């Protein structure tokens, strides 16, 4: 006779989902979810507190590893890192947003393939450097962009980092996904070498590079058309000198009539 499975501890997952949807404090959400899960599993209160405390002690160094680089990046941004990056890239005539992001995609894939995944990332590379440099190149090439074009450009910068990291790290032999695949295949009776799995990740990484590079190449064309459309709309909205009711026109006509009188 099979014993019934207690599904009440899954309420902790519901608490996490609801908390993030309601935008509560993440630390508070995780703590409450852990307590509810422990109580639903019929754990005593002291055991729940011991588990939470021991988990905090074991991982207390991790927040320092995350927060210290963010503090340094924030300090650099406060002293004009983004503006310097925009000014520098704006002085390169051949630079376009697409070409810049293609170069970053290449570097990101190569470094990820070598296991250097920490050299990039959204908070430490895309936000303070890559996105401002792409905007600076767009400003020098197409002029000032409106918010939809700027947001699209930032999204492409973030996507470039994602694509480069995701497909580049699959080539690194010691990557966790490769180890997981090798272990799973070994348990099913299929013995493969990690190096061969990594080598077969190269065609996929190359295909991802070509596809995303083509998308970035098209991004330059889209930005150019968007900037031209904005210029046409701005010129169409400007009042003409000969338009009825134009103060300049009325003033000129009035002055001419006064001279004739």
What pLDDT score does 252 carry?
Answer: 45
What pLDDT score does 76 carry?
Answer: 74
What pLDDT score does 194 carry?
Answer: 85
Closest Cα to residue 211, out of 160, 169, 165?
Answer: 160
**Within a 10 A sphere around the Cβ of 32, how many other Cβ atoms?**
16
What pLDDT score does 18 carry?
Answer: 92
**Domain segments of the chain as ranges:** 8-59, 69-230
What does pLDDT average to in each consecutive run of 10 residues of the chain (261 residues)? 70 90 88 90 89 78 66 75 78 87 95 87 87 90 88 94 92 81 84 86 93 95 86 69 51 46 41
Distance CA 232, CA 106 (A): 36
Beta strands in 135-236 (DSSP E): none
The tokens for 83 are: 């503006």
59 three-state secondary structure: coil
DSSP string, 91-154: T-TT--HHHHHHHHHHHHHHHHHTT-GGG--IIIIIIIIIHHHHHHHHHHHH-SPPHHHHHHHH
Are the CB atoms for 154 and 82 separated by under 8 Å? no
What pLDDT score does 17 carry?
Answer: 92
Distance CA 76, CA 60 (A): 26
* DSSP letter (8 states) at residue 10: G
What pLDDT score does 256 carry?
Answer: 47
The tokens for 216 are: 């970035």
Are the CB atoms for 211 and 217 separated by under 8 Å? no
What pLDDT score does 253 carry?
Answer: 45
The tokens for 243 are: 């338009």
What pLDDT score does 170 carry?
Answer: 85
């Amino acid at each position: 006779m099979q014993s019934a499975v207690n599904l009440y501890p899954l309420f902790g997952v519901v608490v996490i989902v609801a908390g993030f949807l309601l935008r509560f404090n993440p630390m508070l959400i995780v703590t409450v979810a852990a307590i509810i899960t422990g109580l639903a599993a019929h754990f005593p209160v002291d055991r729940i507190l011991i588990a939470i405390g021991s988990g905090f002690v074991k991982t207390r160094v991790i927040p320092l590893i995350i927060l210290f680089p963010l503090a340094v990046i924030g300090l650099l941004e406060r002293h004009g890192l983004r503006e310097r990056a925009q000014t520098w890239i704006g002085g390169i005539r051949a630079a376009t947003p697409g070409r810049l992001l293609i170069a970053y995609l290449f570097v990101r894939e190569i470094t990820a393939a070598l296991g250097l995944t920490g050299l990039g990332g959204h908070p430490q590379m895309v936000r303070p450097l890559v996105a401002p440099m792409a905007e600076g190149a767009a400003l020098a090439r197409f002029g000032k962009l409106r918010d939809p074009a700027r947001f699209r450009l930032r999204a492409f910068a973030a996507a470039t980092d994602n694509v480069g990291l995701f497909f580049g790290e699959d080539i690194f032999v010691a990557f966790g996904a490769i180890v997981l695949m090798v272990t799973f295949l070994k348990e099913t009776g299929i013995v493969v070498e990690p190096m061969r799995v990594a080598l077969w990740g190269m065609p996929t990484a190359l295909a991802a590079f070509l596809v995303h590079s083509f998308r970035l190449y098209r991004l330059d064309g889209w930005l150019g058309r968007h900037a031209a459309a904005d210029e046409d709309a701005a010129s169409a909205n400007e009042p003409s000198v000969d338009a009825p009711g134009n103060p300049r026109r009325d003033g000129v006509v009035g002055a001419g009539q006064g001279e004739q009188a």
